[in-house]
Homo-oligomer: A and B are copies of this chain.
Amino acid sequence: MTPPVFDTAAIKGVTTPELVFTAVRDALIAHGHGRTTVPPPLHLQFPDDDGDCHVKAGWVTGTPDFTVKIATGFYRNTDAGLPTNHGLVCVVSAQTGQIRTILDDQGLLTAWRTAAAGALATHAMARPGAAALAVFGTGEQARLQVEWLARLRPIDTVLVHGRSQDKMRSLCEEFDAFGLHARPASAEEAAAADMVIATTPATAPVLQVGHVRAGAHVTGIGTDMPHKNELPPALFARAALIATDDHQQSLDHGDFGHAVRAGAATDTSDTPLGLLLERPVERPDGAITVADLTGVGALDAALASAVLRELAP
């Protein structure tokens, strides 16, 4: 009998935000305590077609399943009217090695767990009363990070900063439809919000440290390769608290690594994000806090297991 394959409609049908938040939160806490297995990913490149493939695996120690996730990005697909990204998640029994199921999620679960991890980090680390939010970037994660944070706390205003006026306006319209007050903003204005989320593929910092206000929190989720860099090293030097979802990954290819290599932070100055989700974060009133997230394979495992429990109880 071949393993069952579930498509995005089936996955959407059972996956509530609560399910995602719970799975992601628990997995981040487990990861913060070292109770996960996350081997270095496997990577292929297809330069002639401007494509790549990442394979990531992860396991939360002691849980029934682990996952192997295949994600491709072929950046000329849009010319042929195809989506850029494809992929699936194989859920494998950690007791017998049997392939339990294939979630043909087209990257949906990765998008959701990334959004949930960012929202959990921003909510836990920002001042309790902070309600003005800015987002850098106008892509899928710009939208999701804001919408998922809005599920955790009230948001007064959303400032959107991107390079394209059209995309900024279009994203603001989506936020309005979601019930949030949003408007385009300059980089300077956006950087001065209570809460700032950076979601760009930038290779040079998108905001200036001098524009960030005392008491603000900044979450960066876009830097996932060594050549990318969204947040300036000097921001880490000003931060009273730095969280990383995975210390080694953030050091290797996150903004935290850029700050360490620039001498703006020591390589032990970060706290595992998971440990900040267990109890309220103590932050002095005027402190700046920063979260640098690079994506952890154990989150895929936890979320896929939770989804599979709903699909095939």
Which residues of A line the B interface, CB within 8 A? 1-3, 5-7, 37, 39-46, 49, 51, 53, 55, 57, 59, 66, 68, 70, 72-74, 77, 80, 82, 85-88, 90, 92, 94-99, 102, 104
Closest 6 CB pairs of A and B: A72-B97, A74-B97, A2-B104, A2-B5, A42-B42, A86-B97
Given contacts A82-B98, A96-B74, A99-B88, contact A44 B37 (CB under 8 A): yes
What are some 26 contacts across the A-B interface (CB < 8 A)?
A: A2-B6, A2-B102, A3-B5, A5-B5, A37-B44, A37-B45, A41-B42, A42-B55, A42-B57, A49-B95, A51-B96, A53-B57, A53-B68, A53-B97, A68-B70, A70-B90, A72-B98, A73-B97, A74-B95, A77-B96, A80-B96, A82-B98, A85-B97, A86-B97, A90-B90, A99-B104
Evaluate contact between B102 and A77: CB separation under 8 angstroms: no
Residue on B nearest A97 in the bound complex, by CB = B72
In Å, the complex CA distance between A72 and B91 comes to 12
Chain B neighbourhood of A90, CB < 8 A: 70, 88, 90
In Å, the complex CA distance between A85 and B96 comes to 9
Chain B neighbourhood of A51, CB < 8 A: 94-97
Evaluate contact between B86 and A99: CB separation under 8 angstroms: yes
Copies of this chain present: 2
Chain B neighbourhood of A96, CB < 8 A: 49, 51, 74, 77, 80, 82, 86
Residue on B nearest A40 in the bound complex, by CB = B42
Evaluate contact between A46 and B5: CB separation under 8 angstroms: no
Evaluate contact between B39 and A43: CB separation under 8 angstroms: yes
In Å, the complex CA distance between A41 and B41 comes to 9
Residue on B nearest A37 in the bound complex, by CB = B44
In Å, the complex CA distance between A68 and B1 comes to 21
In Å, the complex CA distance between A90 and B88 comes to 10
In Å, the complex CA distance between A36 and B39 comes to 24
Chain B neighbourhood of A86, CB < 8 A: 92, 96-99
Evaluate contact between A92 and B68: CB separation under 8 angstroms: no
The smallest beta-carbon distance between A76 and chain B, in angstroms, is 9
Given contacts A70-B99, A98-B86, contact A53 B92 (CB under 8 A): yes
Evaluate contact between B94 and A46: CB separation under 8 angstroms: yes
Chain B neighbourhood of A2, CB < 8 A: 5-7, 102, 104
In Å, the complex CA distance between A5 and B40 comes to 28
In Å, the complex CA distance between A40 and B80 comes to 31
Known: A73-B97, A87-B99; 16 extra A-B contacts, CB below 8 A, are A2-B5, A5-B5, A37-B45, A42-B42, A42-B68, A44-B66, A49-B94, A51-B94, A53-B66, A55-B68, A68-B68, A74-B97, A82-B98, A88-B90, A88-B99, A99-B104
